[in-house]
Amino acid sequence: MIRKIMAACALAVAVSSATNAWAQDEEIVVTASRRAASYEELVPPTASLKRRADFAVIALEIRNDTRDQSQRLSEMREALRGLQSRARPGAVTLAIVDDDVGIVRPFSLAAAEDLIRADRRPDTSTITVRLRTPISANDTLESVQQRITEFVNQAPKPGRTEMEIGESQLTMVGVDRYREQLLQAIAADGQSAANLFGSGYSVSVSGLESQVAWLRTGDLELTLFIPYSLGVERGG
């Protein structure tokens, strides 16, 4: 009975390695709307892991209302170059988030300029970029917010450029690296259930083919899990 559970978990690891949906080094926005819609109704099972997020990604809206369009766009490009010149790995960097799939993409001026759009107000253009900062063991939500605020306050704002800090999201790099550890925890959960019921009962586990899911369970904390279920029945 226990061998069957362990074998199922081993098979799930093998299948995951062959058909992994995300690259091992892909950075996923764990609060991306499409993924949140899939996971928000899930309750973490017994076998789950609590992990600190790798990065915080904060929206920064850049707006400019210089009347002349060419001058307005020039000032916005200058603002973007100013942000890029101040970005430093290990502190604050710039990123672009693919909202359709919730993946963080490298920042480039060309890609950012393509995102400049007309605002609802006349003679106004706007763009939203992301500021990305690593989360250390000693960080709090307040320290992350302070780091971002200082970065934005010190950024050059040419002409009639304004910058407004928006919502924050958490990201994790290589979510599937936790899959094997989660499967081991599921196997232990199944063994514990089998021991409680004793001989004459069999324990089955389903859902191991599911992707690793997550919920934000703290300011900077995530709970990772595979949405599995255990079944116990007489015989087997």
Q: What is the pLDDT of residues 3-53, one digit of tens each?
A: 444 444 544 444 444 444 444 567 888 764 444 445 556 677 888 999 999
| pTM of structure | 0.76
> How much is the pLDDT for 42?
66
**For the chain, what is the total number of helices (H) and then of strands (E)?**
6, 12
At 172, which amino acid appears? M
Question: How far is 118 from 87, CA to CA, in rounded Å?
Answer: 26
pLDDT at residue 96 greater than cutoff 80:
yes
Check if the beta carbon of residue 186 is closer than 8 Å to that of residue 9: yes
CA angle 152, 26, 96 (to 5 degrees): 30
Lowest mean pLDDT of 23-37, 96-110, 151-165, 186-200, name the range. 23-37
In a 3-state reduction of DSSP, which class is residue 82?
helix
Question: How far is 111 from 137, CA to CA, in rounded Å?
Answer: 32
Check if the beta carbon of residue 104 is closer than 8 Å to that of residue 59: no
Mean pLDDT of 119-129: 88
Q: What is the CATH number of domain 55-173?
A: 3.30.70.360
> How much is the pLDDT for 14?
43
Task: Give tens-digit pLDDT for 207-220.
Answer: 888 888 888 888 99
> How much is the pLDDT for 54?
93
Question: How far is 180 from 20, CA to CA, in rounded Å?
Answer: 12
Q: Is the dihedral of CA 142, 146, 152, 153 positive or negative?
A: positive
CATH 3.30.70.360 domain span(s) along the chain = 55-173
